[in-house]
Amino acid sequence: MTSDDLRELASQSLLSHFADLCEGAVIVDADANVVWMNDQYPAHLKIRDLAATIGRPVEEVIPNSLMRQVVHSGQPIMLDIMDFGQESFVVTRLPLRDAEGKVVGAVGFMLYDDPRHLLPVVSRYQRLRADLADAERRLADARRTKYTFSSFVGSGTACAELKQAARRAARTSSSVLILGETGTGKELLAQAIHAASPRANAPFVAVNIAAVPETLLEAEFFGVAAGAYTGADKRGRDGKFKLADGGTLFLDEIGDMSLALQAKLLRVLQEREFEPVGSNRLMAVDVRIIAATSRDLEKMVADGQFRADLYYRLNVITLNTPALRERPEDMGLLADFLIEQICRQQGITLHGISTAGLNRLLQHDWPGNVRELANVLERALLMSDGEMLDSADLDRVMPKIKASLVPALANALGIAEVVAQAERQAILAALRICAGNKAQAARLLGISRAALYEKIAALGVDAELA
């Protein structure tokens, strides 16, 4: 038996099975006149004489039928609900074609005589739609920023100047280059800039260039066209530029990017368009770039390790995040903020830090900056049984003081008082700005209201306000 014979047999068998299994079946010719109807259909349509229906326009027999539309358009109507008097039927309609592909008629099947039979299918469809909507919502939430400028804790001069410059940057769409040591809050600052910008409701997408293998970075940035290579997703895959369209793309550790990829990134920034891997189609994109690095890009440019033209394209607005050792006046606020955050995350009783404990923190140069400080405080809190972190608690988890620093520390014995004075002035300034509203002042300082009340009492701020 040939393949054509099998197809013909399958077509006849399919029509026969459908006609037997369905609640009703009807065939119309090229003029949408009824040429055949199975025995079950007339009972549903309240037709007593089946022969009288043959040759009549289908609308005269089934008033709301769309069989004529199927014949004229040649397009099927796979699932529909058709009303007939006080009843409703679930139907499907398919065009019939001859050997040359010309539409010569149509066949219709009544799948169910009650739409309630579709409830399981509809329920599953609704569940799938709800799951999809939930996944899209969670993905959108993941693309939103978690930090604002109030999250960048600090009240000293260096921190205040940095926030002011960052707020100015947020009002523009220019590229921003954030420089600073590891752990100084570069991504936090990038998120704060995005959250305060006109693009705040659009995606914030971050890529850590150092964490992605060089061979995968191009696909990570520009995406992959469907079937671009063996094993590629048949549906294709969007890259970070596409995901960040209309929003902000944060390129962390930009100094680790290869020269070859630097050239491609430069073209995207200049032309505002890119080609997915394996595609010949250009895609337009509107993305604001915020880049960050702990490396010396100017030296890398001089050494030929970083393209000068890309450096100038990124370096429109430059922000320098100060190292922790350069802002000792912020140590108290940072310690309080991190301790409260750690206690809440770990579900332990809220702790404080003593003056001696604060003084011990100030005796370290913090090469890992705020990230290292958070690590030290968490370890100390988990090993402490007291309600206050003291110098002894910190000594257990911190490196020993370098011998070369001892003379200098002896001459700086009053540093804790200097820090306390800086905190006192910061609190006074915040209270004046907020017209004495302590809740607003606490938010401005980046600490809890309870911590603010404790500091007001401990530092004697009330006396100065009186």
- Which of 212, 241, 234 is CA-nearest to residue 278? 234
Is the pLDDT at 383 greater than 60? The verdict is: yes
Average pLDDT of the segment spanning 30-34: 93
Residue with the two structure tokens 């910190």: 394
Alpha carbon distance 130, 122 (integer Å): 12
CATH entry 1.20.1730.10 includes domain 3-118: no
Alpha carbon distance 46, 37 (integer Å): 13
- Considering the domain 149-322 in this protein, what is its CATH number? 3.40.50.300
The four Cα atoms 454, 458, 464, 466 give a dihedral, to 10 degrees, of: 60
State pLDDT tens for residues 356-382. 899 999 989 899 999 999 999 999 999
Is the pLDDT at 237 greater than 90? The verdict is: no
- Most confidently modeled of 1-10, 114-123, 319-328? 319-328
pLDDT for 413 = 43
State pLDDT tens for residues 345-354. 998 888 889 8
pLDDT for 118 = 66
The one-character DSSP state at 212 is S
Is the pLDDT at 141 greater than 50? The verdict is: yes
Domains 149-322 and 325-465 share a fold: no
Q: List the single range of 69-83, 177-191, 212-226 with lowest mean pLDDT.
A: 212-226
- The CATH architecture of the domain made up of 325-465 is Orthogonal Bundle (1.10)
User: What Rg, from alpha-carbon coordinates, does the chain have?
Assistant: 36
Helices then strands, counting H and E runs in the chain, come out as 21, 14
Domain regions of the chain by residue span: 3-118, 149-322, 325-465
State pLDDT tens for residues 159-174. 989 999 999 999 999 9
pLDDT for 409 = 45
pLDDT for 142 = 57
For 127-234, strand residue ranges (E) read 176-179, 204-208
- Most confidently modeled of 320-324, 381-385, 413-417? 320-324
pLDDT for 411 = 47
The four Cα atoms 191, 197, 200, 206 give a dihedral, to 10 degrees, of: -30
Please enumerate in sequence order all residues whose Cβ is within 8 A of that of 85, keeping only pairs 6 or more positions apart, or say none: 46
- Which of 302, 339, 337, 304 is CA-nearest to residue 426? 337
pTM above 0.85?
A: no
